[in-house]
Amino acid sequence: MKLWSTVATLLMIALLLPSLAFGATSPPTAKIVLDGKTLTTEVDPLNVDGNVLVPIRQIFEKLGAKVTWDQSKQTATIVRDSMKIQLTVGDRKPVVNGSRAEQLEVAPMNVKGNVLVPVRFVGQKIGYDFKWVQETSTVQIFPKSGQGSGAGTPPTTPTPTPTPNPGQVSDKVLVKTIQLTKDQLLVGTDKKSPQANVFKLTSPDRIVIDLPGTELDASLAGKLVNNVGEVPSLHPMVEKVRFSNFNNDPATVRITLDMKANADLTISAAAGQANLLVGVLKAPEPGKTKYKVVIDAGHGGTDSGAVSLTNKKEKDFVLAVANKVAKLLEKEPNIQTYMTRSTDTFVTLKGRSEFANNLDADLFLSIHANKATPTAGGTETFYYERADSKAFANVVQKHLLEATGFKNRGVKEGDLHVVRETKMPAALAEVGFLSNAQEEALMYTSAFQDKVAASFVAAIKEYLKIS
């Protein structure tokens, strides 16, 4: 199947399919099956007034498109080759290549940070047909005739994965052994081991090792229970070792060390043995750890950011807080603080992320303020995809809520440049809403800014395990 022929079609279905009338009086959930496989999405598809709405990011990205989200405009943009589609929450008229398309029956919605659009907008122009299965509340999406295997016939059950021939050559690396001795982590593979991606998680403390391009061999796969297996730990700093086939596309084996104590892990191929990874755990040396933390005050210079009800500027609020954070961090001997801007200057998004990456920083925190309707309010924190960034965002949100006392809008995944393009754990905090009279009044007081700055410092110290 040619992916972009499918994506091009996803964009105009609203006019070409009859209504999917299900007679619902409330928005029940549905599920989606694409090419015989049930799609897993962060939020369930919905049936609204007889129209099924689906999460746009998961569907388009499955088809190779790039999806970005503009928080201030509440607009999702989908780009692939020469095609550009913009869908705005609450607006029934999408923009396709700069021109307004015909009106959708139901406007896109934002549900828990995910944009949902009518399924009729994701159909025939991409070479797909639909079938609604009332009994299971399922929308089946399948290729039209000539678009690939199984084309033209809606599947009734997922196609089973074929069993490979015994002599079939696989490009995946098989993980054959996982062992944690009192000194080392040993991971044996059937061919040259891949480079491991290692990161830490907190609450509770874990070290995670992802091995891209790998899967468990039969002996280890046979130990999985609900896709999780365990091997005993003989290491004094590790409670237990867990492993799983974490991802299928790309294939990834994940090994997780449940820690008893804070430690760092270095892992690489053994000398002269390309099919053996050796990991060594070591406790940080007291007084010698110097973490590099980047504090990013959003906007600046010609970019004012959001403007409040009384014409105050977001750039001024976030700079005041960022400078207070930097001043507090100066008192921390184990932290070296860097700022993307400390004055009212303009820095590009690319400049911010490159600054942090070139420093090889350990942590990145971007500070912002929100704007929407006068009734909207609350505190939220964003991250992008990586588990370490999500863990940091959770800690930031916890402390920030204690400082603001505002409504908890949650921790959300957002396709925002500074958290997407930075290579270290990164979070973007939206402290409160400048469009909310009560929140704005507090946000421009020095006492409130002091509390917010202290909460950010507490979050940074907790994540880095600095007492």
Same domain, 245 and 368: no
Tokens describing residue 295: 């504090």
Over the range 311-338, which residues count as b (16 or more CB within 10 Å of their CB) and which as e?
ebbbbbbbbbbbbbbbebbeebebbbbb
Other Cβ atoms within 10 Å of 145 Cβ, number = 10
pLDDT of residue 166: 40
Q: Are residues 318 and 449 in the same domain?
A: yes
CATH number for position 421: 3.40.630.40
Q: Is 158 within a domain?
A: no
Answer yes or no: is 62 within a domain.
yes
Q: How many residues does the chain have?
A: 467
Shared domain for 250 and 375, answered yes or no, is no
- 165 assigned to some structural domain: no
Count of structural domains within the chain: 3
- At 423 the pLDDT is 92
pLDDT of 176 reads: 93
Asked if 458 and 416 sit in the same domain, the reply is yes
Inter-residue contact 215 to 175 (CB < 8 Å): yes
CATH of the domain at 28: 3.30.457.10
- Does residue 273 share a domain with residue 322? no
Would you say residue 157 lies in a domain?
no
The domain boundary residue, chosen from 215, 249, 282: 282
Q: Which residues of the chain have pLDDT under 70?
A: 1-30, 34-36, 39-43, 47-51, 57-67, 69, 71-72, 79-83, 102, 105, 111-114, 119-135, 141-170, 202-203, 249, 284-289
428 falls within a domain: yes
Shared domain check, 331 and 271: no
This prediction has a pTM of 0.47
Residue at which a domain ends, from 260, 282, 304: 282
Residues 29 and 100 in one domain: yes
Answer yes or no: do 332 and 433 share one domain: yes
Q: Domain with 258 in it: what CATH number?
A: 2.60.40.3500
Sheet with 83-88, side-by-side order of all strands: 66-70, 75-80, 83-88, 95-96, 99-100
Residue 359: predicted pLDDT: 85
In a domain, 21, yes or no: yes
* SS3 state of residue 418: helix
pLDDT at 53: 74
Q: Containing H/E element for 278?
A: strand 273-282
Is 112 within the bounds of a domain?
A: yes
Task: Record the tokens describing residue 234, joined without a space.
Answer: 């003989």
**Final residue belonging to a domain, choices 282, 309, 329:** 282
13 and 89 in a single domain? The answer is yes
* Same structural domain, 372 and 426: yes
Query: pLDDT by residue (tens digit) across 164-175?
Result: 444 444 578 999
Beta strand pairing call for 114-118 and 109-111: antiparallel
Residues 311 and 407 in one domain: yes
Q: List residues bridging with 48 in a β-sheet.
A: 51
Residue 154 lies in a domain: no
| 17 and 76 co-located in one domain | yes
For residue 152, give the nearest of 37, 39, 63, 35 by alpha carbon. 35
Residues of the domain holding 302: 291-464
